Amino acid sequence: MKKISTRLHAAHLLMALTLVLLCCMASAQINPYQYTINKMANGSKGAVSSAHPLASQVGLEVLKNGGNAFDAAIATQLALAVVYPGAGNIGGGGFLVAYTNKGKAISIDYREKAPGSASRDMYLDKDGNPLLNLSQNGHLASGVPGTVAGLFASHKYGKLGFAALIQPAIELAEKGFVITAAEARSLNGSKSAFEKYNTVRPAFVKEKAWKAGDTLVQKDLAATLSRIRDNGMKGFYEGETARLISAEMKRGGGKISLEDLKNYTAAERDPIIFDYKGHTVIGMPMPSSGGLLMQQMMKMIEDRDIASMGFHSPAAVQLMIEVERRAYADRAEFMGDKDFVKVPIQTLSSDAYLKERMKDFIPGKATPSDMVKPGKVNPESDETTHLSVADQYGNVVSVTTTLNGGYGSKTVVGGAGFLLNNEMDDFSVKPGVPNMFGAVGKEANAIAPGKRMLSSMTPTVVLKDKKPWLVVGTPGGTTIPTSVFQTLVNIIDFKQSSLDAVNNPKFHHQWLPDQVMVENDFPKSLQTSLEKMGYLFTNRGQIGRTEVIKLEWNGKKVKSIEAVADKRGDDHAAAY
Ligand code: GLY
């Protein structure tokens, strides 16, 4: 357990204690003015792992109060929208992958959509040059938010009333919470962007620099959340909140209309399900590339004995880099919203295709990306956040949700207090032009009204012996699928603990640019061995913030639940 540096000043402490005594937090156990960070927690009745201690605690309280994993996932997401504004959201979108104690695999798509007046070339100037500032910042960068619809779509699997799930978030917004050193740094780093891209000064801007222990109060956000509590989905997609969004769009030149909001729906979809060495992996289908990329990468290594090569051996890492390269070449060419384009999923995931894909793999030698074109298929038919939840009944829920970049478009809806996403940049604004993650795309991911932009989010559930075993996911833009891939291979093939699997240094290859991105602590000797094979490296600082929950079973009953939170941030594991 690491004490965070949000120790309160004496006066602040007095005020905090008074507030704690006076106010009746829905969850009496949670003190938003002083909290610690746990990286690992064990229990047998329930667990939540998320990007923020207060959000994980909110989820755990819901489980203790009789809610199931779906309830806890909803409450945790809502709390993250308050305490982790860089990525937690109600103005963005996300995906949920779950497995119920009735044996049902579920995926819910609440990805943002392009507004009705969006057009294919909306981010090109008259000479056809990309205007990436517009797809990445400010009002025009936002897709129609999906998160609130997703929370209500998930709620049909929950047990508690929605009001009980949203109340902790309302109170955190209304009464405030102390921020961590990381949050203070992050808010200070975005101050000039907040000043530039807002028409109304948001709660995130103050004269003096933020510091650890300051209290962030978000009254407008509390009012918006209260409207959702009182009016359900209409509290966001219609009425006052919709009016405020539409007015903000008009002031700042954005495209989201009242009609776009009213028409937004989440979609329950058939998850991607495949076997890997006797385990069943359940992943997110299009419009996320995550599930299919996982299937491609895992299947391309399945018949090779990667365990005997050794963890972080040059041979094992080279193999993983090469399958990452090949899968991402397919992502760029073929993947997009399958409600709009034909994605040849059957071919891309077939054993024969993936075997063919590996035919030009040469152990000990890099395959240049310009030799790895997308595969032949016959016409056929950084900032995001993840939470993993498990309950004592055997339900598990894996949710990844996003505003896209840190604080999304940086635009807060005036009077409504929440940030809007900059998810439009996940479309291919022009074939071959890299987005903010350096990823390229083509026709399959071109902009069209009402279309969902391709995602990399990879909320994942793994079954062992037909029972939920692992609940995994991470933020990280295009690095998400490769981080989840490596975490699973670390656990399944290299027999690592969840903690080691999460914290060990990650690497990433996405076809283009033809470079291996690595974390600061990626072993230098390993890098040197791979450079000799022809690989180019670039340092990426940190990759992902992975949250893993692992369950053990005693027959039909959950025996133990272990929650792990990534060392890379304020991420917090809670269990009981
Ligand atoms: N915005 C990151 C993703 O959806 O992949």
Give the pLDDT confidence score for residue 439 in this predicted structure: 86
Residue nearest to atom 2 of ligand 1 (CA): 477
Domains of the chain and CATH, by start: 34-41+52-268+385-437 (no CATH), 271-383+456-575 (3.60.20.40)
C-alpha 381 – ligand 1 centre gap (Å): 26
* C-alpha distance from residue 24 to each of 28, 168, 175, 428, 483 (Å): 7, 10, 11, 48, 40
Return the structure tokens found at 284.
């997110």
Q: What is the DSSP secondary structure assignment for residue 268, as one 8-state letter?
A: E
What whole-number percentage of the chain has pLDDT above 90? 90
Residue 470 has what pLDDT?
98
Q: How far is ligand 1, taken at its centre, from the CA of residue 402, in Å? A: 7
455 Cβ below 6 A of ligand 1: yes
- Which residue has the CA at smallest separation from atom 1 of ligand 1? 404
What is the 152 CA–ligand 1 centroid distance (Å)?
A: 21
Least confident among 150-154, 250-254, 424-428, 434-438: 434-438
- Please, are residues 428 and 448 in contact by the beta-carbon 8 Å criterion? no
Question: Between residues 86 and 21, which one has the greater pLDDT?
Answer: 86
Please report the atom of ligand 1 found closest to the CA of residue 111.
4
pLDDT at residue 1, as a whole number: 41
- Alpha carbon distance 236, 4 (integer Å): 35
Higher pLDDT, 370 or 22: 370
* Ranges of H-type helices in 269-350: 290-302, 306-309, 314-334, 345-348
Write down the H helix ranges in 232-313.
234-237, 239-252, 258-263, 290-302, 306-309
By most ligand atoms within 8 Å of CB, the mutation choice from 455, 484, 508, 510 for ligand 1 is 455
Ligand 1 pocket residue status of 457, Cβ below 6 Å: yes
Ligand 1 mean position to 308 CA, how many Å? 34
Q: How confident is the model at residue 230 (pLDDT cuts 50, 70, 90)?
A: very high
Q: Taking the C-alpha atoms of 45, 49, 55 and 58 in order, what is their torsion angle to the nearest 10 degrees?
A: 0
pLDDT at 48: 98
Rounded distance from Cα 2 to ligand 1 centre (Å): 30
What is the three-class DSSP state of 247? helix
Output 474 or 440, whichever has higher pLDDT. 474
- Given a cut of 80, whether residue 535 has pLDDT beyond it is yes
Catalytic residues: 384
pLDDT higher at 382 or 26: 382
Ligand 1 pocket test: pick from 453, 457, 479, 482 the residue with the most ligand atoms within 8 Å of its Cβ.
457
At residue 378, the pLDDT reads: 55
Residue whose Cα lies nearest atom 4 of ligand 1: it is 455
Compute, in angstroms, the gap from residue 426 CA to the centroid of ligand 1: 7
Per the listing, tokens 């941030």 go with 569
Does residue 22 have a pLDDT over 50? no
The pLDDT of residue 370 is 85
* 42 phi/psi in degrees, rounded to 5: -125, 145
Q: Is 477 in the pocket of ligand 1 (CB under 6 A)?
A: yes
Paired residues of 481 in beta bridges: none
Q: Say if residue 410's pLDDT is above 90.
A: yes
Q: Which of 362, 363, 345 shows the shortest CA–CA distance to 354?
A: 345
Of 115-129, 267-281, 423-437, 539-553, the one with minimum mean pLDDT is: 423-437
Ligand 1 contact, 401 CB (< 6 A): no
- Cβ 510 vs Cβ 328: under 8 Å: yes
Q: Is 426 in the pocket of ligand 1 (CB under 6 A)?
A: yes
- Rounded mean pLDDT, 36-51: 98
Q: 14 exposed, middle or buried (CB, 10 Å; 0-12, 13-18, 19+)?
A: exposed
Distance from the CA of 477 to the center of ligand 1, in angstroms?
A: 5
Per-residue model confidence as pLDDT tens digits over 477-511: 999 999 999 999 999 999 999 999 999 999 999 99
Cα of 409 vs centre of ligand 1, distance in Å, is 13
Is the CB–ligand 1 distance for residue 456 below 6 Å? yes
Which of these ranges, 3-7, 238-242, 260-264, 513-517, has the smallest mean pLDDT?
3-7
537: helix, strand or coil:
strand
Kindly give the number of the ligand 1 atom that is closest to the alpha carbon of 425: 1
Q: What are the structure tokens assigned to 338, written together?
A: 């399958």
Place of tokens 């909140």: 241
Instruction: Write down the pLDDT at residue 107.
Output: 98
Residue indicated by tokens 């384009």? 341
DSSP character string of 351-414: HHHHHHHTTT-BTTB---GGG-PPPP--S---EEEEEEEEETTS-EEEEEEEEESTTTTSPBPT
Q: Pick from 425, 444, 428, 429: which is nearest to 383 by CA? A: 425
Average pLDDT, the chain: 94
Does ligand 1 have an atom closer than 6 angstroms to the CB of 384?
yes
- In this structure, the residue with its CA closest to atom 3 of ligand 1 is 455
Residue 46: name the closest of 26, 67, 16 by CA: 67
CA of 455 to the centre of ligand 1 (A): 4
Give the model confidence (pLDDT) of 1-19 as tens digits. 444 444 444 444 433 333 3
The residue whose CB lies within 8 Å of the most ligand 1 atoms, and thus the one to mutate among 142, 403, 423, is 423
- Cβ of 402 less than 6 Å from ligand 1: yes
Selection from 73, 245, 95, 49 nearest residue 162 by Cα: 73
* Cβ proximity of 460 and 467 under 8 Å: no
Q: Which residues contact 563 (CB under 8 A, 6 or more apart)?
A: 40, 41, 42, 43, 47, 48, 49, 388, 390, 547, 548, 549, 573, 574, 575
Among 284, 420, 437, say which to mutate for ligand 1: greatest number of ligand atoms within 8 Å of CB.
437
Phi first, then psi, for residue 257 (nearest 5°) are: -105, 170
**Residue 29 or 6, more confident:** 29
The answer to whether the CB of 404 is under 6 A from ligand 1 is yes
Which residues have C-beta within 8 Å of that of residue 64, sequence separation ≥ 6? 45, 46, 576
